[in-house]
Amino acid sequence: MLNDKTILITGGTGSFGKKFTEIVLKRYPNVKKVIIFSRDELKQFEMAQQFEHNPKLRFFIGDVRDKDRLYRAMDGVEYVVHAAAMKQVPAAEYNPIEAIRTNINGAENVINSAIDNGVKKVIALSTDKAANPINLYGATKLCSDKLFVAGNSYVGSKETRFSVVRYGNVVGSRGSVVPFFLKQRERGFLPVTDPRMTRFWITLEQGVDFVLKSFARMKGGEIFVPKIPSMNIMDLAKAIGPECEIKIVGIRPGEKLHELMITADDARNTVEYEDYFVIQPEFAWWKRNDYIKENGGKKVEEGFVYSSNNNNWWLTVEELKDMIKEFQV
């Protein structure tokens, strides 16, 4: 799929971008170019060193808020992964206009730049927080998802197609609970918001693999949701610091007790496959029955909800220990 192709990753120096680059260079040795588009020159310098200055890598300093820079960066690009976002919930609450400029206006810039440059396919990374959002970050990502789905109606005579991939917590990503718990473990206690709390769980490699599969599957307008396991926050605490004292600190503002990836309202448009779901777009030209027949899926029942507490796939303490081994110091 990516042989002799150029792919651009916005927010490419983040946890996902680095893993995506690693896997693409390994899996597609004939890829033409991988362009890392991000704001931080130090992170780009460090990433170039990490990949031993691979000649297929290009580093563009730029911000998705800057439409002109995106236009220049996407010249000759066939595939785009939009991973750039302002994603820390407290920071978005305190700096709402900045979150809107990056997550919403930035999405618009990516869409227009991709269409005008004739990009073939674009996948935007979403989050569980975009389903029935209760914080500003989730609200901006819901808006971003809507923009990317609707972007397919803006292409006119161009062949550009847009889809979205939505999944839950990534094990060990920057700012996530695993590195936080590992650091807190040194102090002898782990702060837990609520012992009932559950989360979806996915590794970086699984996330990258799902994005690549979605590139191959997409027709334009789908929101792809992988079937992934859930875990209980107390089990994670046991896996990381079994000897630690647990302190219940209460749910933070803008935080949910359980994660939600498919709402009951989305169920009427959702198709289930063996290892993933597709939320179909509501386009006049979208042939629902044809899509289901072609891909071998089945419609979910009315009122279906996919949340971390009603999942039928749960991780044990031992499985969690195994998943976080690489982050142990």
pLDDT at 27: 95
Retrieve residue 313's tokens: 């796939």
- 317 domain-assigned: no
- 241 domain-assigned: no
Distance CA 19, CA 305 (A): 30
How far, CA to CA in Å, does 208 sit from each of 123, 170, 254? 11, 11, 27
- 275 domain-assigned: yes
Report the amino acid identity of residue 140.
Answer: T
Contact yes or no for 199/237 (Cβ under 8 A):
no
Supply the pTM of this predicted model.
0.95
Distance CA 262, CA 304 (A): 8
Q: Is 247 a catalytic residue?
A: no
Q: Is 191 exposed, middle or buried (0-12, 13-18, 19+ CB in 10 A)?
A: middle
Query: How many CB atoms within 10 Å of residue 310?
Result: 12
- 318 domain-assigned: no
- 33 domain-assigned: yes
The one-digit pLDDT tens for each residue of the chain (329 residues) are 899 999 999 999 999 999 999 999 999 999 999 999 999 999 999 999 999 999 999 999 999 999 999 999 999 999 999 999 999 888 999 999 999 999 999 999 999 999 999 999 999 999 999 999 999 999 999 999 999 999 999 999 999 999 999 998 888 777 678 888 988 998 999 999 999 999 999 999 999 999 999 999 999 999 999 999 999 999 999 999 999 999 999 988 888 999 999 999 999 999 999 999 999 999 988 988 888 888 789 999 999 999 999 999 999 999 999 988 877 65
Report the amino acid identity of residue 114.
Answer: A
CATH of residue 94: 3.40.50.720
Q: Give the length of the chain.
A: 329
- 89 domain-assigned: yes
Contact yes or no for 324/239 (Cβ under 8 A):
yes
Retrieve residue 138's tokens: 């989730």
pLDDT at 329: 54
Contact yes or no for 214/224 (Cβ under 8 A):
yes
Distance CA 286, CA 279 (A): 12
- 314 domain-assigned: no
State CA 271 to chain mean position distance: 20
Q: Which of 129, 141, 238, 256 is catalytic?
A: 129
Residue of 229, 173, 226 whose CA lies nearest to 200: 229
Q: Which residues on neighbouring strands pair with residue 265, listed in sequence order?
A: none
> Count of domains in the chain?
1
What is the 3-class SS of the chain, one letter each residue? CCECCEEEEECCCCHHHHHHHHHHHHHCCCECEEEEEECCHHHHHHHHHHCCCCCCEEEEECCCCCHHHHHHHCCCCCEEEECCCCCCHHHHHHCHHHHHHHHHHHHHHHHHHHHHCCCCEEEEECCHHHCCCCCHHHHHHHHHHHHHHHHHHCCCCCCCEEEEECCCEECCCCCCHHHHHHHHHCCCEEEECCCCCEEEEECHHHHHHHHHHHHHHCCCCCEEEECCCEEEHHHHHHHHCCCCEEEECCCCCCCCCCCEEECCCCHHHEEECCCEEEECCCCCCCCHHHHHHHHCCEECCCCCCEECCCCCCECCHHHHHHHCHHHCC
Rg (CA), the chain: 20
pLDDT at 254: 84
- 284 domain-assigned: yes
Range of the domain at 83: 6-167+202-228+264-305
pLDDT at 295: 78
Contact yes or no for 201/235 (Cβ under 8 A):
no
pLDDT at 99: 98
